[in-house]
Each structure stands twice: as structure tokens, then as C-alpha cells.
Structure 1
Amino acid sequence: MLTTDYVPGAPDWVDLGSRDVATAAAFYTALLGWEYQPGGPESGGYGTFRLAGQTVAAIGPLQDENARPAWTVYFETADADATTAAVQQAGGSLRFGPMDVADQGRLAGYTDPGGAEFAVWQPGGTKGLDRVGAGALCWTELYTVDAEQAKRFYTTVFSWDTQDMPLPGGAGTYTVVSRAGGGPEGSHGGLMQLATDMLPEGTSYWQPYFAVIDTDASVAAATARGATVLMPGTDVEGVGRIALLRDPEGAYFAVLQPAESMS
């Protein structure tokens, strides 16, 4: 379960890189009931999404004209410089940073050996998202071309615990990842191997899940606003009803109606 009691290795931030921040912000505020708060002139166009006055995500303009719009998941670190060294030693590569964000924290961005991009946040004045769970980020998931490689990499970098679970019908294996020593209650994401031709861009990527009240209604609202359905609403026993989507700019995300809200 994601919580705001952040520890090293746990997701603590998520943001969207967009070509058109205003239009993308309008899509997500309409879909998820968030409010968009632009940053000041010094923010470079970076702003936050809020729900009930709490920060649930952020958005900013793409810094590379060749980059595609995408959500980036950040994991907490106590030392961004040490994590950078660990990433590189484990076979990943540095995309940006480490760099300070005023007195709010220190960040760095990476690409894992399978091509998936992710980032870390070393807390300063900003500890992380104010809210996770209902109406906000509730899970993170990696679709990878090489699950064993991904497990080795992330357990080396973040000391995650992993648990393999067979998928229904012999469809493969799903690996649940948890903070070190956290057990099932400390789980915050999963990873699953997919063939290259099953990955929309042909490469590995991290995807955020946002908790919603009604998955099917959210899918209908998203498609009415120009999103594409990658996987329609599907029940997952003990988890809830999920759907995978691509927003109008091409960024991938998912929605989850938790099982406890469906009874």
C-alpha cells in the first residue's frame, strides 16, 4: 500500500511531462476531479495538481523537444548522489541531475537497463506528495522487456523485496515489489514482462495508477476527451477493476477502482 509515510525506495512523487501543459491539465482535472495550480514565473511552467487542497501530482513542459509526453514516477532517496552511483554501477544511465530544487529537495532522473525512465527525490522542504490513495496515486507498475534484469537492477538500487505471483491462465508472472522489510503491507508496485511487440512504444516503461470511484465511468470520460483505451475495465481478484489508458498527448496511465469500494 502506498502511504505518505515515505521511506527510501518508496514512490514519493509523480509528474507529467507535456507539450501543452494547459490542455493536459484540463484533461486530468476534468477526469480526476483535481485542481491545477500553476507555479510562479520562477517555476519554468511547472505546476501541481491538488485534491482537497493536497498535492497529488505535478505537471510541467517537456525539456527535450524529442521527448514524448509521459508520466514519471519518483522514488524516495536519502542521497541522490549515492543513488546515481548505484544506478550507474547496476547498468542504468543518468538522464539529468542530481540537482537541487531550491531548498525543496534534490532530484535526479535515470533510464534503467531495459529502457524505462524513472527518477528519485531526496526530500528537503517538500517531503513528497501530500496525498496518495483515494483520488490520487495508488500503485506503480513497470512493463519491462526483461523481468529478471529489472528485478536485479531495482533490488540493487533500492533494496526492494520482490514476490513472484503466477498470472491467471498461465499468462506469465507478476512480481510485487515492496520497500525493504515492508512485507505485503509495504508493497507499492509491480513489474511484468511483456514482449516488445506488446509494448506500445516497444520499450519498457513505468506507469502510475490513480484510484477512482468508478473505472468504467472514468474510461468513458477519458475517451470522450480524446484518450485511447489500451485495456478496458478488467476485474482483478482482490485488487479491483483496472483499465489502461493513453491520454490525448500519448502519455500512459491507469485507473483503479479498489475492490473494497466495489462491494
Structure 2
Amino acid sequence: MAENRASAYGEGVPCWVDAQLSDVEAGKRFYGELFGWTFEDDPEKYGGYAWARLQGEPVAALVRKTDGRLPTVWTVYFATPDAEALADRVWAAGGQVVTAPTPAADLGTAALVTDPEGAVFGLWEPGRHSGFGRRHETGTFVWAELYARDTVAADAFYADLFHDALFGPDARPDFGRAAVSDVFPAEMPPHFLVHFGVDDCEAVLGTVNRLGGRIQAPPFETSYGRVAVVTDNQGASFALLERRKQTEQ
């Protein structure tokens, strides 16, 4: 059964992820084998995206970079009923608007913004596309971790921006934060790291290597499970998350 349609995506809930890649066909081969995704291509229907599906439900998208200077990266999008209003709040709180809210056909409206330290994230105001059809499962989005330099400032920024999603009566946050230096070299820029669920972290690392990816950080323990950080065969970083049995959602 698919879960978590539009009504469940309150403002500040991670609702979608996409990868900007130079070679979408190579991305399909990599992620198709790694996670069992199948892909749909229809430039008019899906805004130029290659939509990834698991058991028929949308779980992510791959999109070709229009400029080779753009980073090869996974981006997490947070739901909002009003992308323009939320972008204004990001700006007022010291963040930046990288890409102003822009309609994606009738799918919805997207924007790219940063927090005050420069970590990029997306905003998604749903139209026909509400977000993930499946999540919190093997081969789907399970978590996003913000790696920040100033964790106190990050806490204040996101607590104000996404207060209900983090602290409201129905809050089940799908993102957290840590210091950059906990996992990465201190010079690494602040960023969000998208996590996909796996059953066996070590076993999947072997597949990542075989498919031409690379291990950035071998498995380590976190409060939300066992994590390894990898890149795909084009350099886009993401994490593998093996949930502890008692904390599975």
C-alpha cells in the first residue's frame, strides 16, 4: 500500500527528493539496480523528470543538469501550502532564495533556498503531484540529515521555520541535524544529506562499489540507525540507512 499522500505532508515535512545528474540514463541504471526502482519518462507529464517508482508508486526523480557547472547532488524538498510565503520567511530569517518559486506544469510549484549557512533545500507546493507515494521503507526516502557548522544557529532557524513539523502535536520529524565535523572534513560546506532505507548496510555497499559508486564514510551508528555515506557513479552523495528493529517506523 502506498502511504502518506498530500494530506499527510504538512508544512516542513520532507515530501520529495530529486537528483541533478549529467547522465540520467546512467543514473537509471545505477539506482534501478541499487534500489529496484523503475522509471517513467514523459517530458510533458513529468516536467522533464525521469520519475522513479517502487512497486508502482513515486519515490524520487532524476533530472538532467542544464548547466555542467551545477552540482551533481540530491536535493530534499519540504512541503508547503504556499511556496512564495515560505521563501519570504526563509529570506527574512537570514537565508537566501536561489531559485524563486516556479510552477512545474500542473505538478506543483518548486523553489530552491538556503539556510543562513548556505545549506540548500527545496520547497514544494503541491499541485497534481503531492510527493512520495512510498517512504520509510527499503529503497525509499527515510531521513534527511542537515550537516551544519553552527548547530545552535541551525536549531533556531529550522525550529522557527518548521515549528509545527518539528514540535507540533502530530510531529514525526523526518530530518535532524549534526555538526559537519562529526562525519565530514571540517571544510565541507553545510548541506542536507538524503538517506535511503536498506536492510543490510554492508551488503548494499558492495553493490554501490560494483556499480561504480564510492564509499565516503563507512557504516557508523547514529541515534536513528546505522548509516553509510556514499556517492553514485556520477558523484552525487547520499546515505544508506539501516534502521534498528526497535526504531523502525
Shift of 1:138: 0.5
Does structure 1 residue 226 correspond to structure 2 residue 212? Answer: yes
Does structure 2 conserve the Cα–Cα contact (< 8 Å) formed by 1:68 and 1:250? no
Does structure 1 residue 180 correspond to structure 2 residue 167? Answer: yes
Does structure 1 residue 50 correspond to structure 2 residue 53? Answer: yes
Query: What SS is found at the alignment partner of 1:114?
Result: coil
Does structure 2 conserve the Cα–Cα contact (< 8 Å) formed by 1:213 and 1:261? no
Letter of the structure 1 residue corresponding to residue 214 of structure 2: T
Query: What SS is found at the alignment partner of 2:98?
Result: strand
The 1:41/1:20 distance shift into structure 2, 3 A limit, reads same
Q: CA RMSD in A?
A: 2.5
Does structure 1 residue 111 correspond to structure 2 residue 114? Answer: yes
- What is the alpha-carbon distance in structure 2 between the residues aligned to residue 122 and residue 59 of structure 1? 19
Of 156, 160, 166, 1:156 maps to 160
Does structure 2 conserve the Cα–Cα contact (< 8 Å) formed by 1:99 and 1:107? yes
Letter of the structure 2 residue corresponding to residue 253 of structure 1: F
Shift of 1:201: 6.9
Mapping of residues 193-204 of structure 1, within 5 Å: 193-195=179-181, 198-199=184-185, 202-204=188-190
- What is the alpha-carbon distance in structure 2 between the residues aligned to residue 9 and residue 144 of structure 1? 18
Mapping of residues 210-221 of structure 1, within 5 Å: 210-221=196-207
- What is the alpha-carbon distance in structure 2 between the residues aligned to residue 38 and residue 207 of structure 1? 26
Deviates more, 1:36-45 or 1:219-228: 36-45
Of 17, 21, 33, 1:18 maps to 21
Shift of 1:207: 0.9
Query: What SS is found at the alignment partner of 2:174?
Result: strand
Question: Percent identity, aligned pairs only?
Answer: 33
Letter of the structure 1 residue corresponding to residue 59 of structure 2: V
Of 46, 50, 71, 2:74 maps to 71
Question: When the two structures are aligned, how many residues end up with a matched partner?
Answer: 243
Does structure 1 conserve the Cα–Cα contact (< 8 Å) formed by 2:46 and 2:107? no
Query: What SS is found at the alignment partner of 1:91?
Result: coil
- What is the alpha-carbon distance in structure 2 between the residues aligned to residue 25 and residue 87 of structure 1? 33
Give per-residue Cα distances to partners, 1:89-127, cap 9 Å, x unaligned. 111111112111222211111122112110110111111
Structure 2, unaligned stretches of length 5 or more? none
Shift of 1:241: 2.5
Query: What SS is found at the alignment partner of 2:167?
Result: coil
Does structure 1 residue 143 correspond to structure 2 residue 129? Answer: no
Deviates more, 1:47-56 or 1:62-71: 62-71
Deviates more, 1:213-222 or 1:3-12: 3-12
Query: What SS is found at the alignment partner of 1:133?
Result: coil
Does structure 1 conserve the Cα–Cα contact (< 8 Å) formed by 2:194 and 2:238? yes
Runs of 4 or more, structure 1, over 6 Å off, are none
Shift of 1:198: 3.1
Does structure 2 conserve the Cα–Cα contact (< 8 Å) formed by 1:233 and 1:241? yes
TM-score (norm 2): 0.88
Does structure 1 conserve the Cα–Cα contact (< 8 Å) formed by 2:81 and 2:125? yes
Does structure 1 conserve the Cα–Cα contact (< 8 Å) formed by 2:107 and 2:128? yes
The 1:91/1:155 distance shift into structure 2, 3 A limit, reads same
- What is the alpha-carbon distance in structure 2 between the residues aligned to residue 180 and residue 139 of structure 1? 17
Of 234, 240, 244, 1:255 maps to 240
Does structure 1 residue 98 correspond to structure 2 residue 101? Answer: yes
